[in-house]
Amino acid sequence: MKNRIFSLAILAMASAALVNCSNNNEVTIENPNGPLYDEVLTNVANNVIVETYGELNTKAIALKASINAMTFPATEEQVMAVKLAWQATRAPWEQSESFLYGPVGIEEVVDPAIDSWPVDVASIEVIKNNPNPITASSLADNDDARGFHTIEYFIWGINSNKTAAEITAREIEFLRAAADDLQQNTQKLYDAWKAGGGNYVANFSNAGGLGSIYPSQKAALDEIVQGLAGIATEVATGKIEEPLNGNAGTAKPEAEESRFSNNSKLDFANNIRSIENIYLGDYNGATGKGLTDIVKFANPTLDTNIQAKITAAITAINAIPGTFTDAISNNRTAVQNAQTKVNELKTLLESQLLPLITNLQ
The structural domains of the chain, ordered by start, are 33-359 (1.20.1420.20)
31 pLDDT band, cuts 50/70/90, is: low
Q: pLDDT by residue (tens digit) across 273-300? A: 999 999 999 999 988 999 999 999 999 9
Short-list 63, 82, 72, CA closest to 172: 72
Cα 260 from Cα 162, distance rounded (Å) = 10
Q: What is the pLDDT of residue 143?
A: 83
pLDDT mean over 30-48:
91
- pLDDT over 80 (residue 26): no
Query: Long-range contacts made by residues 153-159, C-beta under 8 angstroms, separation at least 24?
Result: 153/119, 153/121, 153/124, 153/260, 154/178, 155/79, 155/82, 155/83, 155/86, 155/260, 155/261, 156/83, 156/260, 156/261, 157/260, 158/121, 158/260
Do 205 and 100 contact (CB within 8 A), yes or no? no
Q: What is the pLDDT of residue 88?
A: 99
Neighbours of 39 (CB within 10 A): 18
pLDDT mean over 197-218:
97
Q: pLDDT by residue (tens digit) across 105-153? A: 775 578 889 998 888 899 999 999 999 999 999 998 888 899 999 999 9
Do 43 and 289 contact (CB within 8 A), yes or no? yes
5-14, 131-140, 342-351, range with greatest mean pLDDT = 342-351
DSSP state of 45: I
Amino acid found at 89: T
Q: What is the pLDDT of residue 209?
A: 96
Q: What is the pLDDT of residue 30?
A: 53
Q: pLDDT by residue (tens digit) across 151-192? A: 999 999 999 999 999 999 999 999 999 999 999 999 999 999
Cα 245 from Cα 303, distance rounded (Å) = 33
